[in-house]
Amino acid sequence: MIFSSFRFLVFFPIVLLLYYSFRRLRQRQYILLIASYIFYASWDPRFLSLIFFSTLIDYYVGLRLPGARTQGRKKAWLWVSLCANLGVLGFFKYANFFIRSFQGMLMLSGMETDPVVLNIILPVGISFYTFQTMSYSLDIYRGKIEPTRDFVEFALFVAFFPQLVAGPIVRAIELLPQLRRTVALRWDDVAEGSNRFIQGFTKKVLIADNVAPFVDQVFQNPSHYDGVTLWIGSIGFAVQVYCDFSGYTDMAIGSARLLGFRLPENFRFPFTALNVADFWRRWHITLYSFMRDYLYIGLGGSRVRPGRLIFNVVFTMTLVGFWHGANWQFLAWGFYNGLLIVGYRFLLMPIHRFSVLRRFLDTAVGVILRAALSNLLFFVGLALFRCLNISDSFDTVGRMFVFDSAGERLLGGSVLFFYGLVLLSNIACEMKWPSRIAARTPLPLQWAGYILLIVILVLLSPNNTQAFVYFQF
């Protein structure tokens, strides 16, 4: 049941109606918990047991952690949580990758092995909810939060359906307090929640799903196309993955808001980023901040020697890449981003010390150049990310820089149009234009806008809604 499906558009109003029909907190918690389990079971009911396992482990660990008498015991309980969560994640997501890689190594050393591939289905959303439950145990271990003794409340924190399968990754500190209060039905929640949901729906069905066929065509066989087409394909994938994932986030935030909950933002107009470090503060913010707080800071953060700092950054970003899935392309993409951040820190940041250059970089031309460079580096990274195997990834990136490379050329006019649209909307949102415009727009013009949007959505939505890209991670 994906947010942009007909099924969800029936399911959600029923949940909403039931939720607000009951006034007691406990009743509402049960309604949301049952709805969340139904939502998840609509993919594959077997995997409910995994969520339940993760919930039980971290609930129990959470209860035992504060009472542990020694630091050693505390650590042991934390390891129980980490091993259980990372074990589940490792088995379902990474087992085949490690088996294949191990076999590859054996073959390289001249040993013959029978190919073994486990028949494992990746449970949808597993990377999101395991991180969420781990963050709970880690925060208790660090003394940042008190554990909850209410199992229903904790189960709902893990399975809360708006953000269950593709984030944002919400921490206990953000969601648990909200689960402990009853909210009244309010117009601003309805208005803002619906608006946000419509925004996400539009991004997904109007842009992401319409760009997807071009991107699939190009990356199915990238060697067939020339460099220009590969650039356009990569731009198309940037637009697709942004509209798909941020569209999902908008729908998640919107539907949570309709239920009276606030979820953290996951994107902040990434196409307006002025450098690679800035980009990562705008793209998949909850994953990035999770990795920063629980891994990078744990490794020593930036208050270390330069060599160690480079390792910390590259290692953290490589794991960000690996989080997306078990293949070498994602690892390479993470490593590439780590190198970019290090490069920015050690090569480009020193330039800012020269006042003439700094002044130039702050001019309109300088800002445009910085944003363009940030975008281009992002597109190159996505070409690594999107290819179907690592050799294709390197070959594709290489061919992107050979403009007269042989191959068919597709101009992808619609892709460039949608990129322009997304870029413009990112700039407008960064400058806070939409809220200013909306405040001054007379009601009839707002009606006309909605009517136009409905007509465009009806005409341009592909008949088969595609699954969200981030479900596979």
Q: Using CB under 8 A, which of 148, 255, 272, 396 touches another protein? A: 148
What distance in Å separates the CA atoms of residue 340 and residue 338, rounded to the nearest whole number?
5
Binding mask 193-232 for another protein (x = CB under 8 A): ---------------------x------------------
112: contact with another protein by CB under 8 A = no
End-to-end CA distance of the chain: 17
Candidate segments 85-93, 275-283, 418-426, 433-441, binder of another protein by CB under 8 A: 275-283
Q: Tell me if 299 sits within 8 A of 335, measured CB to CB.
A: no
Binds another protein (CB under 8 A): choice among 245, 280, 328, 335: 280
Three-class DSSP category at 225: strand
Interacting positions 381-420 with another protein (CB under 8 A): 408, 410-414
- Helix ranges (H only) for 169-226 are 172-179, 187-202, 209-220
Phi, psi of 408 (to 5 degrees): -70, 145
Between 328 and 419, name the residue whose CB sits nearer to another protein: 419
342-381 footprint of another protein as x/- string (CB under 8 A): x--x------------------------------------
Q: Please provide residue 271's backbone torsions phi and psi, each rounded to the nearest 5 degrees.
A: -75, -5
Active site residue 324: yes
How far apart (Å, rounded) are the C-alpha atoms in residues 262 and 264? 7
Phi (first) and psi of residue 225, to 5 degrees: -110, 160
CB of 52 to another protein, least distance (A): 22
CA distances from 189 to 183, 195, 266 (A): 10, 10, 19
Contact between 438 and another protein (CB under 8 A)? no
* Contact criterion met (CB below 8 Å) for 321 and 333: yes
Across 340-358, b (16+ Cβ under 10 Å) vs e yields: bbbebbeebeeeeeeeeee
| The length of the chain, given as a count of residues | 473
Binding to another protein in span 158-197, by CB under 8 A: 173-175, 177-178, 180-187, 190-191
Q: By CB under 8 A, how many residues form the interface with another protein?
A: 73
Given the complex with another protein, which of 20 and 94 has the nearer CB atom? 20
If binding is defined by CB under 8 A, does position 25 make contact with another protein? yes
Residues 447-466 interacting with another protein (rule: CB under 8 A): 447, 450-451, 454-455, 458-461, 463
Which of 4, 202, 289, 374 is the binder for another protein (CB under 8 A)?
289
Distance of closest approach, residue 307 Cβ to another protein, in angstroms: 14
Active site members: 324
